[in-house]
Structure 1
Amino acid sequence: MKKHLPGIALSLFIAALATLVANWIPGDIIGASVLAIFIGIVVRLIYYNETLFNEGVQFTSKRVLKFAIVLLGASLNFSIIMQVGGRTVIVLIFTLFTAFFGGYLLGKAFNVNWKLSNMIAAGTAICGGSAIAAMAPVIEAEDGDVSYAISSTFLFDMLMIVVYPLIGRLLLLNDTFFGYWAGTSINDTSSVVAASFAFSEAAGEIATMVKLTRTLAIIPTVLVFSSIYFRRKLKQPNKRKEKVDLVSIFPWFIVLFVLMAVLNTFGLFTPTLVEFLRMISRFSMVAALAAIGLKTDLKSFSRTGWKPFIHSMLLSSLVAVVSYVVVALIIG
């Protein structure tokens, strides 16, 4: 505990600070998760004693992150798919395919590493930072890549909060159309809420419901990439010679995550308990991302370069266009 406590305490302090600042900023413009990463990076630049903090920061960035993801499952409910209808699911299938297939092609074109490219695709396809954070432990992503992926998707979201309502009014979109479009194409939940409610109250309610449905895609996405990463490890020359232990590398926390979602779907959690678990999950994830920020060296950003950022902007723009077209064809 003596080795872990300083790093854990520092991560929790940054998480609390980021949460306070995020609540102080009006309109949910910037989430606590993104703030925590940036504060962590700044703290590392100013003063960071590796001997004192590393053990606890490592624990928070790995173990606490998995704990947060497990609790996140309690806020998911499969029955919401029935509420939004089959047409929404069709739109989501198109946008998910666009994000992951388009992300694969752009990753190849810009020579972006496999892990970073797919985290950007997951953040674009599903729900920004939460999806990236959920995927990171499964594919054993580098902390610098996690920070980069969340930062790049966040910057697009900030732009869309302003641009989406303007485009909606210029094109004379109705509330239903705009709600489906924003809910299926803007990355982070807070950004969806900010942009859609800026357009209208009705559009905001529709967009929020659609976005909650989209968040459910975390489950199959993480399971699929867990399988893909396992197969990729088997193909490594050093792994062929040694026996790979499936039990040790299987992401068991995802099983608990799915179990929590199933229990909530069957109504075994009260609304009060769900809200409490969601609150704990959010703060734990903010603390974990603060720890990731503390572990991120800005030199790694400069080494990564601008190509992943361009990759993220192009992919998010592509998803926005495809979403608009599919909503026009399916929803009308």
Structure 2
Amino acid sequence: MKNNARLFLYGILFTIIVAAISYLLSYIPVLSSIGALAIAIIISMIYRNSIGYPEPLRGGITFVSKKLLRVAIILYGLKLNLYIIATDGLWLLIGGIFVILFSVFMIIFINKLFNGNENIALLLGFGTGICGAAAIGTVSSIIKSDEEDTAISIGLISLVGTFFALIYTFLFPVVNLTDSVYGMWAGLSLHEIAQVVLAGSVSQDSLAFSLLAKLSRVFLLVPVSFVLMYIWSKRTTRESTTQKVNFPYFLIGFLLLAVINTFIAIPENISQAIDEIAKFLMIMAMVGLGLNVSFKSLLNKAKVPMISLLVTSSLLSVITYFLLILI
């Protein structure tokens, strides 16, 4: 029993070490544009496919990739101020609904045309439409996606989203948008919060509006998850399976922290500390997920979803750009 407990802790320690290395590497100029999440997945995949999965440590690693991932998602709730979203960001919620519907249906449509992996396409659709890794982690728990598909999806969304964020920063001087409209464009169309910050940091106004637009989409994670649960339960019933749809209880914690952040003024230093903890827990979870990906599976599963993601992201950028100009 003591030996099992020791191996469990060693598994957690393993993810901490790799996460810390990934975090530090993300400060290197070239790697900083990729981000710590993608770095952690890449390192873990290289480890798995060269050295092998550290089987004795599986218990602790699985705990991190499943349980601590959900803790990280809960802590994301502290980014939301429901009052600001309900007032200043109300019309952005409508834009967010459009972005989610477009992303999910377009990725699934393109993926189906070329017979790609359905699970990964679904995860990428919600990851693109809502908030990247956090949305993929939530949706994967509802549809019971395996860890390999989840890791591939998060890796793709991190890399493609970062690529688009960098393009946005280069386009800023030539797109002929005001700082605030450019910020809304980035917030409505980019995948991860970190990518929105990267693209929106060209000025204070653009950063403020990009975060408002993005957090309006993050807020939609809760209602969208309940809608998906309903649809998925109907699907499993129709297919006469005994498998039950998981209720993502951690979303209650996510919403509760959003309510707390709305009505209680949390000191900025504490808020920043919690944000860093959530980020590090997410990186640790990526280590656990990345260890489940084989390069062979990546090549077989990722090609079509990757094309679907690139095409959908490109269309999303163009459509939201012209919509904002017209508005």
Same fold judged by TM-score > 0.5?
yes
> In the alignment, does 2:121 pair up with 1:124?
no
Q: Quick check: 1:94–1:322 contact (8 Å CA) kept in 2?
A: no
CA apart distance, 1:5 = 1.8
Of the candidates 177, 183, 187, which is equivalent to residue 187 of structure 2? 183
Return the alpha-carbon distance in structure 1 between the equivalents of residues 68 and 39 of structure 2: 18
Return the alpha-carbon distance in structure 1 between the equivalents of residues 248 and 12 of structure 2: 23
- 1:5-43 Cα shifts (integer Å, max 9, x gaps): 222111111111111111343795122111111111111
Return the alpha-carbon distance in structure 2 between the equivalents of residues 186 and 296 of structure 1: 25
Instruction: Give the secondary structure class of the aligned counterpart of 1:67.
Output: helix
Q: Quick check: 1:41–1:296 contact (8 Å CA) kept in 2?
A: yes
Q: Which runs of 5+ in 1 are unaligned?
A: none
Of the candidates 70, 77, 99, which is equivalent to residue 73 of structure 1? 77
Instruction: Give the secondary structure class of the aligned counterpart of 1:104.
Output: helix
Q: Partner of 1:278 in structure 2?
A: 275
Of the candidates 147, 152, 164, which is equivalent to residue 151 of structure 2? 147
Letter in 1 for 2:262: T
CA apart distance, 1:222 = 2.2
State the 4+ residue runs in structure 1 displaced beyond 6 angstroms. Answer: none
Letter in 1 for 2:141: P
Letter in 2 for 1:220: P
Return the alpha-carbon distance in structure 2 between the equivalents of residues 71 and 305 of structure 1: 30
Of the candidates 51, 56, 62, which is equivalent to residue 58 of structure 1? 62
Q: Quick check: 1:164–1:195 contact (8 Å CA) kept in 2?
A: yes
Return the alpha-carbon distance in structure 2 between the equivalents of residues 4 and 47 of structure 1: 20
> In the alignment, does 2:110 pair up with 1:106?
yes
Of the candidates 212, 220, 223, which is equivalent to residue 223 of structure 2? 220
Letter in 2 for 1:121: G
CA apart distance, 1:286 = 1.0
Q: Partner of 2:162 in structure 1?
A: 158
Return the alpha-carbon distance in structure 2 between the equivalents of residues 209 and 238 of structure 1: 41
Letter in 2 for 1:231: K
Letter in 1 for 2:221: I
Return the alpha-carbon distance in structure 1 between the equivalents of residues 237 and 265 of structure 2: 39
Instruction: Give the secondary structure class of the aligned counterpart of 1:23.
Output: coil
Q: Quick check: 1:196–1:203 contact (8 Å CA) kept in 2?
A: yes
Return the alpha-carbon distance in structure 1 between the equivalents of residues 25 and 169 of structure 2: 25
Task: Give the number of aligned pairs.
Answer: 323
CA apart distance, 1:292 = 0.4
Q: Quick check: 1:91–1:327 contact (8 Å CA) kept in 2?
A: no
Q: Quick check: 2:131–2:193 contact (8 Å CA) kept in 1?
A: yes
CA apart distance, 1:314 = 0.9
Instruction: Give the secondary structure class of the aligned counterpart of 2:145.
Output: coil
Instruction: Give the secondary structure class of the aligned counterpart of 2:183.
Output: helix
Q: Quick check: 2:96–2:188 contact (8 Å CA) kept in 1?
A: yes
The change in CA–CA distance for 1:229 and 1:50 in structure 2 (over 3 A counts) is: farther
Q: In percent, how many aligned pairs have the same letter? A: 28
CA apart distance, 1:223 = 2.3
Return the alpha-carbon distance in structure 2 between the equivalents of residues 156 and 37 of structure 1: 14
Letter in 2 for 1:92: G
The change in CA–CA distance for 1:11 and 1:156 in structure 2 (over 3 A counts) is: same
Q: Quick check: 1:28–1:194 contact (8 Å CA) kept in 2?
A: no
- 1:127-175 Cα shifts (integer Å, max 9, x gaps): 2222212322222112221222122222322332332234343332222
Q: Which runs of 5+ in 2 are unaligned?
A: none
Return the alpha-carbon distance in structure 1 between the equivalents of residues 74 and 51 of structure 2: 32
CA apart distance, 1:201 = 4.0
Letter in 1 for 2:298: F
Q: Quick check: 1:70–1:256 contact (8 Å CA) kept in 2?
A: yes
Mean CA deviation greater in 138-147 or 88-97: 88-97
Mean CA deviation greater in 120-129 or 260-269: 260-269
Q: Quick check: 1:107–1:113 contact (8 Å CA) kept in 2?
A: yes
Return the alpha-carbon distance in structure 1 between the equivalents of residues 286 and 212 of structure 2: 26
Return the alpha-carbon distance in structure 2 between the equivalents of residues 245 and 121 of structure 1: 22
Instruction: Give the secondary structure class of the aligned counterpart of 2:173.
Output: helix
Q: Quick check: 1:12–1:287 contact (8 Å CA) kept in 2?
A: yes
- 1:154-206 Cα shifts (integer Å, max 9, x gaps): 232233233223434333222222111111111122222222324x4432332
Mean CA deviation greater in 116-125 or 155-164: 155-164
Letter in 1 for 2:95: V
Instruction: Give the secondary structure class of the aligned counterpart of 1:172.
Output: coil
Question: What does 1:220-239 correspond to in 2, within 5 Å?
Answer: 220-239=223-242
Mean CA deviation greater in 104-113 or 2-11: 104-113
Question: What does 1:31-46 correspond to in 2, within 5 Å?
Answer: 31-46=35-50
Q: Partner of 1:97 in structure 2?
A: 101
Letter in 1 for 2:174: L
| Alignment RMSD | 2.4
